[in-house]
Amino acid sequence: MASRRFNRLQDDQEVHILGVPMDHGAGRRGVGMGPSAIRIAGLQEKLKALSLSFVDHGDVIIRDVERAQQLQYQVEGKANHLPMIVRACDAVHEHVKRIVKKDAFPLIIGGDHSIAIGTIAGLMAAYKEEEAEIRKTQPKTEITLGLIWIDAHGDLNTPMTSPSGNVHGMPVATALGQGPDVLTKIGGVCPKVFPNDVVLVGLRDLDRQEKQAILDSGVHAFTMKDIDERGMAAIMRDAINLATRNTDYLHVSFDIDSVDPRVAPGTGTTVFGGLTYREAHLAMEMIAESDALTSLELAEVNPILDVHNQTGQLAVDLIASALGKTIL
């Protein structure tokens, strides 16, 4: 694993695709078929057109499902299907860690957004092993991860604050070290990110307690009102700067529900007034142009709710923009 600030996607760096067919974190079934919908929409063909080398690892297999379903975790509040989610996210963490240690670019496709708990755990587990090696000669080294979270929702709930108990509304809080230990300590690093390195973009649907949690947390938050007033380009310039100025790696997690449902109908928590087609692409294009992106995740495509795989196709196109596809 190479040690360098921002492991930029190079011509010789392989993109490693990992599907996570998870739907236990969401309120509606079907999102577990998201990885298949994205592949059917032409993900591999799009990467080939960009002349990118890639390996598709298929989908994460969640083992010992029956045993996981029998487990009981004592947590304050409500977290639906927690044993299954813990088992799945631990498996994702192991896969992502291996990808990073191969010096490859992780491309994670979901699945509901609870998968990010495993993705970020795997990234930081690998980076902390890198940090330990560097510290043998540079004792003060600390490797940090910047996070740009593009989503209609803040995902800063915990079991104590979530009205629904759906864990796909908790991954940012989990990454910050908030919530039950069985989630926050996956991968052995807690917290995994620092508030000042986290940027939320596209917010427009927040639970009452979640609003206060965002204000209290110290993360940077840009709502749709901010985008309306300032424009997507200005917001993304700020977001990229905030997430990279003090960090070594940059992870972007894109929830397809950030896009307006007239453009992306195939998702379980639609809210009108979202990103336009071009705003979503501009965000990804600017991330690509920053040369800072080191891992990418796209979640919440639900083909059961989609129209002719329109949202699956959008997901593929957005991934392509993030990985360097340009208009000219």
* Active-site residue, from 59, 130, 155, 248: 155
The verdict on whether 64 is a catalytic residue reads no
What is the predicted pLDDT for the residue at 70?
Answer: 61
Task: Say whether 95 is catalytic.
Answer: no
Q: Does the annotation mark 155 as catalytic?
A: yes
Of 301 and 10, more confident: 301
Rounded to whole angstroms, what are the CA distances from 62 to 67, 90, 91, 190, 314?
11, 9, 7, 23, 27
Reported as a pLDDT band with limits 50, 70 and 90, residue 67 is low
Q: Choose the catalytic residue: 16, 153, 220, 281.
A: 153
Return the pLDDT at 12: 75
The one catalytic residue among 16, 24, 95, 168: 168
Is the pLDDT at 71 greater than 90, yes or no?
A: no
Q: Hey, which CATH number is domain 15-322, 3.40.50.720, 3.30.450.20, 3.40.800.10, 3.30.420.10?
A: 3.40.800.10
- How many CB atoms sit inside 10 A of residue 10's CB? 9
* Mean pLDDT, the chain, whole residue set: 94
Q: Count of alpha carbons within 13 Å of 225, Cβ hemisphere only? A: 3
248 counts as catalytic: no
- Burial zone of 171 (CB within 10 Å; 0-12 exposed, 13-18 middle, 19+ buried): buried
So what's the pLDDT on residue 217?
Answer: 97
The percentage of residues in the chain with a pLDDT greater than 90, rounded to a whole number, is: 90
User: Could you read off the pLDDT of 273-289 as tens digits, one per residue?
Assistant: 999 999 999 999 999 99
Q: Which residues pair with 220 in a beta bridge?
A: 199
Instruction: Please state the rounded mean pLDDT for residues 153-159.
Output: 98
pLDDT over 50 (residue 224): yes
pLDDT of amino acid 293:
98
170-216 pLDDT, tens digit per residue, is 999 999 999 999 999 999 999 999 999 999 999 999 989 999 999 99
Of residues 130, 131, 255, 279, which has the active-site annotation?
255
Among the listed residues 93, 95, 113, 281, the single catalytic one is 113
Give residue 181's pLDDT. Answer: 97
Active site residue 94: no
Of the listed ranges 77-86, 148-157, 196-205, the one predicted with least confidence: 77-86
Top-confidence residue, 294 or 2: 294
Q: What is the pLDDT of residue 3?
A: 40
151 is catalytic: yes
* Calpha distance 148→244 (Å, rounded): 10
Tokens of 101: 């240690």
